[in-house]
Structure 1
Amino acid sequence: MTAQKRAQNINDVGIAISAFDAQTIRELGFQQPIDVATQTTNFSVNQLVTSIPNFTIRGVGVNDYAINQATSVGSYVDQVFIASPAMMLFQMFDTERVEVLKGPQGTLYGRNTTGGAVLFISKSPTEEPEASVDLEIGSYGYYMVEGAVSGPLSDTVRGRLAFNTTQSDGYQENIFTGEDHGGYDRVSARAILDWTPSDSVDVRLKVHVGKDNSSLNSFNVPGVGSNDSSSGTIDTIDGVPYRDNDSKGAALTIDWDLGNLVLTSVSSYDQLDRFEYGDTDGLFADGRIDQVLISDIDQFTQELRLASNGDGPVTWVGGLYYSEDEIEDGTIYEVTGAGFPPFVFGVPSSYATLDELGNTFQQKSQSAAIFGQVEWDVADRWHLTAGLRYTQEDKELNNVTTPWRVMPGPGESGPDEVGLLFPPASFDEDFDAVSGKFGADFRLNEDILFYGSISKGFKSGGFQGTLVFSPSNIIPFDEETVLAYEVGSKMTLADGRVQLNSAFFFYDYENLQAQGTIEGGAGGVENLFALQNIGDAEVLGFEIDLTAAPTERLNLALGVGYLDAEIVDPFIAEVQPDGRPAMSPKWNLNGRAQFVVHDAGSHYWFVRGDFNFQDDVFFDIYETPFLLEDSYWLFNAAVGVTSTDGRWRAEMWGRNLGDTDYRIGGFTGGVAGPVQIFGEPRTYGVSFSYLFD
């Protein structure tokens, strides 16, 4: 693992980490970042109403659907921080490793985060020529083709080209139209060139592109539809919600060995053009309530690190970080079905019904930081870690306004009328903070490590990116901080056949940022929803992760997580003292097992199963009864055969074998009324992989 910016054994590091290698990623069917949560303790995902994933680790996360909010859980792809949650819809393919770091991060990584960090590491070019292919075919017209070619291009250059296409018809059937919703249409490609011009310099250039033309699931209204059906549709010819997203980017990484020091530079540029036409009311009727999401996101990052390069008792790393991201967003809400008279919003029209409201803005964020961390083997068994960081972030929210459209309805005639509710407005705020970490590790022997740490995480404040009806509705929110206390252990037992890792933690959470309500924001007709500081919170919990190989044929893994999270000092009336933060289930479990049924020497047959359990959880911070998702279990299984040398593999698999109806998000209080989003139903299929060399 590379969680501390250098290669280390995961069990030698006093940090709570969940890690997945390439084989495990393939076996568990991880295809998008949200899938990682299913096998990670105290890790939850809420998809709210725009299909954008919001990560929460140990009760710390941003429960908001706006795309201009940096996440509390930082996500990194090959050392590059992802600024907007809208950019978290990328396809995982040709992935070497995923690492989930729990707790505040900031003394080593680009952006400071309060909840943790998720690292996605791509496979590297190889010294010898090789190629691989992975195929999957499954229910609902699903198929996936993934391939890679890798090897030397010259004495000093190595390259790797990988691609993935994922397609399906969709598992959600519209009850009224018979159309399929939620089908995949994703294509991604990545090229990596490694150049070693000298023994002391390594250069890596990575370029990636992606296109997502998937259809989207329609929402469900209470009592109608399930995880494989809906009555919702949109105002297009075939009525199927859809996405048209294009992404691209490049990163340049340079490592320069200076003898006792290593200088590293990581430069990156990423862009996302986003268009989504989504169903938001779950209804099939005239005057539907839909939304059109149009965004353009540009991100630039630059990081410089200087680190010690030796085996002495003291190691250190220091760095500078700068990032700049610009988000241009325009959202159109088709609200004919709500029946709002235009005058309610101050719209000067004689027509009977308002048809469209919009939400437009441009946000520019700049983040600069200086950070460092020192590790010291102070004695044979004791290891100390200290880190410090200063962060400065500047945010501008420009040209905020709310466009409207009124069209003639039944019995009316005339041209469409358009306008703005208020002249475009602009705002700016600056934020800065000092954060850090102090930790101590004690090694009882070579197999048992105990550790403790105190760390502080910081996430800057900002501006809401949701619908407003007046500049006065733009209320900047302050930064949030988490002071985290943690003790844990990592134990290798039974001659290496058992690994038992545990962590116990307490978080003092100040100025928690979550989606709150601005009362009477829409001319007294409806409330507005915006990210704001809703209170202080405390989180007490633990997690235990066990892996074991009782016999040569049996491998087991089990994770248990517990959270006692509560808001101790609410700032807004809707949040009750002792209320529970969103996406903070009290208990969560995950596990997997694989058993070799028959070993034929050159190949072996196996059966595999995995599960995850999530306790009752609220999707919002108000503890709204409709947004309480009851506890549920999900079970997956596979049977297959693989070569002993790992060259080829074939299996039959099934996911959500119990065909459990479970929700992954929901919303209430908007003009569409209560709506909800379900996870995937039971699916099944076959897969095959082969490595050529």
Structure 2
Amino acid sequence: MHLRIFPALTACAVMLPHSASAEDLPNPISAAEITVMAQRREEAIQTVPVAISAFGEVFLDRTRLDDVKDIVTFTPGFSGNSDDSYIDSIAIRGITSNDYGIGGDPSIGIFKDGVYQGRTGAAVTSLFDAAQAEALRGPQGFLFGRNAISGAISIVTNKPDPGRISGHLYVGVASFDRKDAEGAINLPVAEDWTLRIAGYATDYDGWIDNAFTAGRNDRLMGGNKQAGRVALRYRAGDADVLLSAEHERRRLDGAPYRASNDDREVLDYLSEVLQRDIIIRGSRRDVDTDLLRPRDDGDITSLTASIDLDLGSARLKSLTAFRKSDFHYLEDYDGTALQLGNYDQRQHARYVSQDFRLMSRDDRRLTWSAGVSLYWEDVAARFANEAAEDLVCTAGYGYADCDGMTMDLYGAPYRPAPGGLLTDINDVRSRNRGWSVFLDTNFHFSKALEAGIGIRYARDRKHFSIDVLPSQSSLGNVWTFTYFTDGPVSSSKSWGGLTPRAYVRYAVGPDINLYASITRGYKAGGFGSFTVAAPVPVEAYRLVPDGTKPDAFAPETIWSKELGIKGLDLARTLSFDITGFHYRYRNLQTVYFDTESRTQQVVNVGSVTGYGVESALNWKPSRYFDLSGHVTWTRTEKQGDRDCGQKDCGGLPNPIWSSAGVATGHYPMGPAEIYLQGEWMHEGRRRESFDWRGITRREAYTQINLRLGYDSGRGVEIVAYAQNLFDAYFVRGVENGGDLTPANSWGIAQPRSFGVDLRLRFR
């Protein structure tokens, strides 16, 4: 679906005479009336005993949240947003999963309309025609199921609405030649049938130049996306059936890395052995990379069938889903103009799930829900790492030339590979299946006192194989892998975990609620995508011995405790939400680069302790002003981290302080208004792991956005905006480096930009 489809939607908007008033639209910042599905049933956000943030449709539109990861920006306790399809950098209360292979699972669960969205390459999709987004902190596996050990993001899309014709059309232009378009139309097609069609497209240039190409305007970090969704709904009597199909095509630039000139240990060594000065050229907003076109491409298709039946005393819901994704990622992770580390990942995934849930009526003292969930997943990936052969011989092994190296290793002369590139390839495949059952109960002792207990048991099984191909270079397997396999080596393992939750909520008054909860989280173990486990030491540059299997790691578990207070002031102009938390995490799965073996390994860290306070408020003192924001303080400590015996081995890479929010001034003009909206996003300096080399770090930053809008109150809105108004410079992440890879940074933030949006809504 491309930009050219939207003139047709425009025509539909013009022909339909109905309009929407401003009063009909959801308030973008009022939390008091928001209902959420955090416990799989509709509840007021102010009474639900869960640390949760919710964002309505107008908020998502006005703040221009682009994809599901942008929810991170405005959510207390969340950090690690980035402009790519990876989710391994998203942290909730400091907990993240940095395993970019396919043998493990994410620590955050991302769901759309109740369906688990999967892993990197499949989970990140655009936000369009969305009704609401919910972000939940802390383990959520007791209700949400798979891989929500640190928290969950839940997106709810607009459903076909029986009995009326309605829709919207949004178009926009901005700096960096950005063009956006979104449209949706709701059409009753028969007495009990309604169709909804929605589409989205964007195209933009990048903002990063590559000094390697000597003055050419590269504009890296550009891309284009097209997405569409069709939903058909049957609603009659006690039955509500929804069938939907969605597809998204993503063609983005992968995040370019910039090595640090301050890493003299690595750069001085490279300069010495290569007999030339190695300097990273360009300004801090530029990169200097030999990879001319990094890639972040994806095609994601999903089919969903939801059946909701009212049985009188209970409701039965069936949710069936199929997801298919193809992902291609290409980056230069050494961040230099040398061909030392170009990384290529091609991934194909298929996912099928089936959920059955039975829920009691909401008007009883005892409410309950029970269910069973099943899934099947097949993920295959090819990882390729490229390096120039002459650099491998000289910088990597200290030889004057490659001929001397091959004569020493194999007694044979060196024969250059095509293009002089050494390419190491490993094929991996993970076939996973699992099931879980859960029961959740809530008892209302009185109007003021409520308690609940829930439990889920999950069982996961993975069959994993890794095939390290013999190198086609005469150098052999000497770089990413110093061995090879004779076809795939495989292993199967099963893990099970119990995830209970208990809570109590007490209403101090009609508008003040206190709650306390304790929850256990679990995430299955897995296999490393870049290492093997051999029964005896592997002989360098040779075939692995018999009995070699994929390298396995153990499951993660967490116990998390929360105390919270939610409330409204007497005038109901101020709502607040303050949560204190403490958790103990065991066997954290984490990736680190072993500079001795030059391999990326997934290991289990002994334990992580985290604690903090999250405070959020919504204030609307008058018709003329409103404010919504949060301030968060988080502290994490690691122990037993790879030979570190200290009490605190450095913590996880989360900001200690963070804050974000929106302040809006309104000038009413009858049914219309003019508004001025300011947004702030602040993340403090990030902690670093104990083996941090002291060269690069992600410093604190603050970004300010400003929007000036006119809303007619009759379905027409026009907005002019400035993103990153003060042109703040910051990066999304930094890498430790070591060996032949300099410490580097990635994800250079977009500079100041300007744009205009036009929105038409009709009903």
Query: TM-score by structure 1 length?
Result: 0.92
What is the DSSP-based 3-state SS (H/G/I as helix, E as strand, rest coil) of the residue aligned with 1:23?
Answer: helix
1:54 is aligned, of 89, 94, 109, to: 89
| Structure 2 counterpart of 1:273 | 326
After superposition, give the CA deviation of every residue in 1:572-603 in whole Å (9 maximum; x if it has no partner).
1268540233332211111210001x321132
Q: Structure 1 residue aligned with 2:625, among 527, 541, 554?
A: 554
Which stretch shows the higher mean deviation, 19-28 or 581-590? 581-590
* Superposed displacement of residue 429, structure 1: 1.3
- What is the letter of the counterpart of residue 194 of structure 1? R
Q: Report the equivalent of 2:149.
A: 114
Q: What SS does structure 1 have at the residue aligned with 2:446?
A: coil
Whether 1:134 and 2:170 are equivalent positions in the alignment is yes
Q: Contact 1:618–1:624 (CA<8 Å) still a contact in 2?
A: no
Amino acid paired to 1:121: V
Q: Does structure 2 retain, via aligned residues, the 8 Å contact 1:74–1:113? A: yes
Matched residue, 1:572: 642
Q: Does 1:631 align with 2:670?
A: no
User: Aligned pair in 2 of structure 1 residues 655, 403: CA closer, same or farther (>3 Å)?
Assistant: farther
Is 2:484 the partner of 1:445? no
Q: Which residue, 672, 680, 686 being the options, matches 1:611?
A: 680
Decide which of 194, 218, 225 is 1:158's aligned counterpart: 194
Aligned to 2:571: 495
Partner of 1:476: 552
**Which amino acid is 1:428 matched to?**
S
Select 2:450's aligned residue among 383, 392, 398: 383
Q: 1:250 to 1:638 in 2, by over 3 A?
A: same
Unmatched tracts of structure 1, length 5 or more:
409-417
Q: Is 1:219 equivalent to 2:253 in the alignment?
A: no
CA distance 1:162–1:624, change in 2 (3 Å): farther
1:386-425 equivalent positions in 2, closer than 5 A = 386-406=453-473, 421-423=484-486, 424-425=488-489
Q: Which residue of 1 aligns with 2:210?
A: 174
RMSD across aligned positions (CA) = 2.6
Rounded to whole Å, the distance in 1 between the matches of 2:349 and 2:168 is 33
Counterpart of 1:411 in structure 2 is none
* 8 Å CA contact 1:68, 1:327 repeated in 2: no
3-state SS of the aligned residue for 1:394?
strand
Amino acid at match of 1:163: G
Task: Give 3-state SS (helix, strand or coil) of 1:38's partner.
Answer: helix
How much does 1:227 deviate?
A: 6.7
- Range 251-260 or range 581-590, more displaced: 581-590
Q: CA deviation at 1:554?
A: 0.3
Q: 1:670 to 1:264 in 2, by over 3 A?
A: farther
- Between the aligned partners of 2:81 and 2:729, the Cα distance in structure 1 is 16
Distance 1:50 1:535, change over 3 A: farther
SS of the aligned residue for 1:108 comes to: helix
Q: Aligned-pair distance for 1:86?
A: 2.3
Evaluate the alpha carbon distance shift between residue 67 and residue 54 of structure 1 in structure 2; reply closer, same or farther with a 3 A threshold. farther
Instruction: Give, in whole Å, the separation in 2 of the partners of 1:349 and 1:595.
Output: 75
Question: Aligned in 2, Cα 1:288/1:137: closer, same or farther, shift over 3 Å?
Answer: farther
Aligned partner of 1:311 among 363, 370, 374: 363
Shift of 1:105: 1.1
Distance in 2 (alpha carbons) for counterparts of 1:575 and 1:48? 36
- CA distance, structure 2, for counterparts of residue 255 and residue 680 of structure 1: 44
Q: Deviations over 1:338-364 (max 9, x none)?
A: 722486997887336761112210001
What are the superposed Cα offsets for residues 302-337 of structure 1, whole Å, 9 maximum, x if unpaired?
A: 111111124110100000011111110001111117
State the Cα deviation string for residues 231-276 of structure 1 (Å, max 9, x = none): 2242xxxx22233321111011111111101111111111111122
Cα distance change, pair 642–541 in 1 and its aligned pair in 2 (3 A): same
Is the 1:217–1:241 contact (alpha carbons within 8 Å) kept by the matching residues of 2? yes
Give the equivalent residue in structure 2 for 1:461.
525
Spell out the pairing of 1:143-154 with structure 2 (5 A cutoff): 143-154=179-190
What is the alpha-carbon distance in structure 1 between the residues aligned to residue 438 and residue 459 of structure 2? 12
Distance 2:645 2:318 in 1: 45
Residue 244 of structure 1 aligns to a residue whose secondary structure is strand
Q: How many angstroms apart in 2 are the aligned matches of 1:276 and 1:310?
A: 47
Distance 1:369 1:262 in 2: 20
- SS of the residue corresponding to residue 728 of structure 2 reads coil
Quick one: which of 583, 602, 606 aligns to 1:507? 583
Distance 2:680 2:452 in 1: 36
Corresponding position of 1:413: none
Which residue in the other structure is 1:250 paired with? 303
Distance 1:62 1:244, change over 3 A: closer
Q: From 297, 319, 324, give the equivalent of 2:349.
A: 297
Q: Distance in 1 between matches of 2:84 and 2:663?
A: 35
Partner Cα separation in structure 1 for residue 646 and residue 244 of structure 2: 48
Cα displacement (A) at 1:370: 0.6
Cα distance change on mapping 1:505 and 1:260 into 2, 3 Å: same
Q: Which residue of 2 aligns with 1:199?
A: 237
Amino acid at match of 1:60: I
Summarize the alignment of residues 70-109 of structure 1 with structure 2, pairs less than 5 Å apart. Answer: 70-109=105-144
Pick one of 302, 313, 325 that aligns with 1:260: 313
- Structure 2: distance between partners of 1:473 and 1:113: 28
The answer to whether residue 656 in structure 2 is matched with residue 593 in structure 1 is no
Q: 1:425 to 1:473 in 2, by over 3 A?
A: closer
Question: What is the number of equivalent residue pairs in this alignment?
Answer: 671
Instruction: Check the 8 A contact 1:359/1:467 in 2, yes or no.
Output: no
Q: Give % identity.
A: 23
**Is 1:183–2:212 an aligned residue pair?**
no
For each residue in 1:381-425, what CA deviation from the matched residue of structure 2 results, as whole angstroms up to 9, or x when unmatched?
1100100111111111124324533289xxxxxxxxx99822221
Q: 1:74 to 1:670 in 2, by over 3 A?
A: farther
Matched, 1:29 2:64: yes
Find the residue that maps to 2:143 and give its secondary structure.
Answer: coil
Aligned to 2:41: 6
Indicate the SS of the match to 2:154.
strand
Say which is worse superposed, 23-32 or 391-400, in terms of deviation. 391-400
CA distance in 2, matches of 1:435, 1:158: 39
Q: Equivalents in 2 of 1:87, 1:182: separation in Å?
A: 20
For residues 674 and 605 of structure 2, the distance between their equivalents in structure 1, rounded to whole angstroms, comes to: 54
Q: Distance in 1 between matches of 2:661 and 2:705?
A: 10
Question: Are 1:355 and 2:431 counterparts?
Answer: no
The 1:538–1:289 alpha-carbon spacing in structure 2 relative to 1, beyond 3 Å, is closer
State the distance in 2 between where 1:621 and 1:321 align.
40
Select the structure that is richer in strand: 1
Deviations 1:483-510 (A, max 9, x none): 0111100011141100011101110111
1:228 CA displacement: 4.2
* Secondary structure of 1:396's aligned partner: strand
Tell me if the contact between 1:260 and 1:310 (Cα under 8 Å) persists in the aligned partners: no
Contact 2:440/2:454, CA 8 A, preserved across alignment: yes
Residue-by-residue CA offset, 1:623-662 (whole Å, 9 max, x unaligned): 44235211111111111111224x1211111111222221
2:745 alignment partner AA: Q
Q: Using the TM superposition, give the Cα deviation of residue 225 of structure 1 relative to its aligned residue in structure 2, in angstroms.
A: 4.7
Alignment match, 1:674: 743
CA displacement 1:196-237 (0-9 Å, x = unmatched): 2x4111111110111112233422121445674222242xxx
The structure with the larger Rg is 2
Aligned to 2:141, the other structure's residue is in SS state coil
Pairwise CA distance, 1:75: 0.7
